[in-house]
Amino acid sequence: MFKDLSPNLKSSITRSITQTFEQYMSDIEWSEEKFSIDDFIASWREYITTKALWYSKIPDDMKLDPDFHEDLAKRINEVIARVLGEPPSEEQIVAIQMMQEQLNTHYEYDCKAEAVYVETLLKNHLEM
């Protein structure tokens, strides 16, 4: 069912999953121990029902269809895997390394999105 949606709608859904996942991970400080798929899905559900403009464009009968939910779950898993699999850029690695040396810290990060979180955290520490 997901594949039957327009390319723009699929793109909007994917973007909302990505943004919500990255925000959720930032909220839990990228802690694997704090991660809960149920909590993430709840925050994504809140986002799509209160802020996403695309949500109202999906017919109600489709929203209630179990096949659509299964397709969405697959898409969510794909997006999360893509976010977690994207390596940090060389620029991020260099910038983080320099700030960590200045601050005498050792934050670890495994993907580009987590590197954005660490970089922001370190910049905030430097501005204090």
* pLDDT tens sequence across 7-61: 999 999 999 999 999 999 999 999 999 999 999 999 999 999 999 999 999 999 9
Give me Rg for the CA atoms of the chain. 17
Dihedral Cα 6, 8, 11, 15, nearest 10 deg: -140
* Own/partner pairs, 7-15, CB within 8 angstroms, 24+ separation: 9/54, 9/57, 9/58, 12/52, 12/53, 12/54, 13/54, 13/72, 13/75, 14/75, 14/79
pLDDT band at 1 (very low <50, low <70, confident <90, very high): confident
8 Å CB contact between 127 and 48: no
* Structure token digits, residue 105: 């810290």
Q: How confident is the model at residue 86 (pLDDT cuts 50, 70, 90)?
A: very high
pTM (2 d.p.) = 0.91
**pLDDT band with cut points at 50, 70 and 90 for residue 2:** confident
Separation CA 85–CA 80 (nearest Å): 8
Place of tokens 């109202």: 56
Q: What is the DSSP letter of 94?
A: H
Whole-number pLDDT of residue 74 = 96
